Amino acid sequence: MRKKLIEVALPLEAINVASAREKSIRHGHPSTLHLWWARRPLAAARAVIFTSLVDDPDDPQAPPEFVAACRDLPRGKNAAANDTPRQRLFDFIERLVTWEATTDEKILNTARELILLSTDGNPPPLLDPFAGGGSIPLEAQRLGLEAHASDLNPVAVMINKALIEIPPKFANQPPVNPRDRAKVGGTSHWKGASGLAADVRYYGEWMREKAWERIGHLYPECNGETVIAWLWARTVPCPNPGCGAQMPLVRSFDLSKKKGKCAWVEPHVDSNTRQISFTVKQASKGSGPEGTIGRQGGRCLACGTPASFDHIRIEGQEGRMGAQLLAIVTEGTGGRYYHSPYEAQVKVALQAEPLWKPDIPINYNPRDIRPQLYGLETYADLFTPRQLVALTTFSDLVAEARTRIQQDAATVLTTAAMPVDHTPLRDGGTGLLAYAEAVSVYLTFILDRVTDKSSSLAWWMNTAEKMAPTFSRHALPMVWDYAEMNPFCNVTSNFAASVEWVSKVIDYLPQSQLYGQVEQLDARHANMPAAIISTDPPYYDNIGYADLSDYMYIWMRRALRSVFPNTMGTMLVPKEPELIASPYRHDGDSTKAQRYFESGLREVFTRLRAFTSSEYPLTIYYAFKQQEITGQEGTASTGWETILALWDLMGLTAHLGLGDETPVPIQVKPQTAKQAVNTLEAISTPGNCLQFVVDSFDKAAIGTSVEIVGNHFQVVAQGLEKSVKTSQRATLDFRGPLFQTPVTFDRV
């Protein structure tokens, strides 16, 4: 059987560089469409899929037409050193993985043609059963494959629908909004999803205008300047019965630490009333006093009495936690301006009365979600009244926009491509109703983007002078002094900016009319015969996806429940079937949690083995390492233990002989050692494959070594058969010109 390129060699350095570069690319990148955690880089996903489909052109069994096509590829630095078809293909891959190739149809068409030549003109569909943020199915569609994605999490399902399922349904369609239709007279050619993007942009702006008309009075100016954020501190009563002050809990009184533009809050205590007030100070140098809460608990500004976290928790749980305005941040021609708080601003904030609240209990997750400890027990408790008014207003406007879109579309557009019908989007509709529902999906994503900086868990970054989001990390920690953003201001996190972020992502989506299919499905029930599988499974309890995504789901469900009633059928994201190793879901038992996770993954990969195409390698991303050994000896990964066990189920049998405390050389048959040395020498030779950075060679060698060892029923160390334990290390005793000492793979 012909080997695919990924089984032989990769231009790894170029892929790594392109993947790292993506972190600095914002506009148009899918990561800015909707928050998700641990997304795979597009460059890596594109490279993995492409090299899993194309043959190694240096293989004598490779199709002659494919080899000839590789020879005709432009020569780059790899082929300059050694001009073979494989090196020409490497040069092409280095261009293919760049961000610029995302919209370069010439490069993408070449990639699609090479795939067709390697797959007898019939490339397989791709399935990602843990689709998450959608990088893998999106890149499959970009490369011309029929993309299938599934995930248990409804937020992930909607992200994937927005990336691969909705855009092809309305590809090359002009927008329906009156502004863009008037500009082009209805005759301009709109490529890909550009018409859809134009409508999302127009109706998103319409939503902002309508929202301002309704609730703009809740966002007054400060000294004639637009407010960016109101900075608040939570308060609890002082534990000293002789004091009685409301203690502000402030992490830092500094507002700006920028050189030459320092600003901070000065607290003042009225000795008679014990009331605490604040004024803002600004200077070229200087800083505020020490904060009032740290790792040991809080401290009363009025009397100096310490307040334990137990006291703060009890006060919060008894409903005695309040908030006090610290400062106001405004926009100015020279940057940010800081103002002392005053009563009129507080009164406006208190006027807000939300008509709807997400009074849904926050799921108990003692590691990642902490606010419940302090009395914030429902999702409504995470938002200020003014934030709830704004978010419910935007949510209501999503439904109103759907109606407006249908009305506008009916007056300007009735074609065979977009007929007037009443088939909803969820049932495969492509008419005016379905289109209005499609646009509303992206309008909801705009809302969800705004929610990330519209909670009392968002905070002010005094080093960068900007808002920090609710999800600064993979958790919902307690925040003591928080920033209440003005969604109508002109900073990058406001509503108008979110409209542009989402619209630009749609502009960059593939110009494809290949329908993608997305299902809400437990990976243990995945089924796609003869598919190529590429997936990024969960990593034990590294991220509690379901628990965290509830925060966004409550708003998504409110806006889209009528559009996707089945996907949005549960009050919160399904938790019980989620494949992660969270001890709290197993009565605090880590062993039970680990067994559940591992047995679940075994079910998944046993099922995948049953229908995966044998012509293509199955690729698994497994980047997270749970460190069990530290120091110069390296680290071991619990994740690798599970993956190696699953490889056994996939047909790769490997029992590595391992030592107890020190490496034990594995006695390998001479022909096996020769095979290993030849292979490892080949992948380390400049011009043959790629040049590794210092720590890349052993990573690449793992795959080669496991493949070689796995071809044998078992490997015996000093006559003893032993099972794989990641707290120990395996040493393959390779000798020859490449290795002067045994090679230790302590990451397996």
Give residue for tokens 């009331």.
275
* H/E run at residue 267: strand 261-269
What pLDDT shows up at residue 422?
A: 87
Q: DSSP per residue over 126-173, as a string?
A: EEETT-TT-HHHHHHHHTT--EEEEES-HHHHHHHIIIIIHHHHTTTP
- pLDDT tens sequence across 67-116: 999 999 999 999 999 999 999 999 999 999 999 999 999 999 999 999 99
Lowest mean pLDDT among 121-135, 176-190, 712-726: 712-726
Dihedral angle computed from the Cα positions of residues 73, 77, 81 and 83, in that order, rounded to the nearest 10 degrees: 0
- Residue 287 tokens read as 């800083």
- Of 620 and 346, the one with more pLDDT: 346
Of 290-299, 322-331, 697-706, which range is least confident? 697-706
In 3D, which of 686, 616, 618, 537 has the Cα closest to residue 80? 686
Helix/strand/coil for 63 = coil
pLDDT attached to residue 663: 31
Pairing type for strands 335-339 and 254-258 reads unpaired
**What pLDDT sits at residue 415?**
55
Entry field: residues in the chain = 748
User: Whole-number mean pLDDT of the chain?
Assistant: 85
Q: What gap in Å lies between CA 108 and CA 49, rounded to an integer?
A: 13
pLDDT at 332: 86
Task: Find which of 198-202, 624-628, 738-742 is predicted with most confidence, using mean pLDDT.
Answer: 198-202
Q: DSSP characters for 176-223? A: -SHHHHHHHTT-S---TTHHHHHHHHHHHHHHHHHHHHHHGGGS--BT
d(CA 676, CA 705): 7
Strand partners, 398: none
Contacts (Cβ under 8 Å, ≥6 apart) of 654: 644, 647, 648, 706, 709, 710, 712, 715, 724
Cα atoms in the 13 Å half-sphere on the side-chain side of 166 = 27
Whether the CB-CB separation of 137 and 148 falls below 8 Å is answered with yes
Q: How far apart are CA 461 and CA 511, in angstroms?
A: 39
Chain segment 510-539, per-residue pLDDT in tens: 988 888 999 999 999 998 887 899 999 998
| β-pair type (459-461, 619-620) | unpaired
Per residue in 629-645, pLDDT tens? 333 333 333 444 445 44
CA 87 – CA 442 distance, rounded (Å): 42
Q: How many CB atoms lie within 10 A of CB 684?
A: 17
CA distance 546 to 157: 12
Residue 57 φ/ψ, nearest 5 degrees: -65, -15
Structure tokens at 94: 């280095």
Q: What is the pLDDT of residue 623?
A: 61
Its sign, for the CA torsion 98, 101, 107, 108, is positive
Give 666-708 pLDDT, tens digit per residue: 333 444 444 544 544 444 444 333 333 333 444 445 455 545 5
- pLDDT of 419 above 80: no
Coil, strand or helix at 293:
strand
In angstroms, the CA 262 to CA 254 distance is: 8
Token look-up 């030549």 returns: 117
Tens digits of residue pLDDT in 425-446: 999 999 999 999 999 999 999 9
Q: What is the pLDDT of residue 337?
A: 96
Phi/psi at 203 (nearest 5 deg)?
-75, -25
Q: Which of 157-171, 253-267, 408-422 is predicted least confidently?
A: 408-422
CA distance 308 to 17: 48
Q: How far apart are CA 281 and CA 287, in angstroms?
A: 9
Two tokens at 469? 């989001």
Q: What is the structure's pLDDT at 188?
A: 57
Per DSSP, helices labelled H in 480-526 are 495-507
The percent of residues in the chain predicted with pLDDT above 70, rounded, is 82
Structure confidence at residue 736 (pLDDT): 32
Across 507-658, the runs of DSSP E, i.e. the strands, are 517-520, 532-535, 619-620
Dist CA 583 CA 606 (whole Å): 25
State what percent of residues in the chain have pLDDT above 90: 71
Q: In whole angstroms, how large is the CA radius of gyration of the chain? A: 29
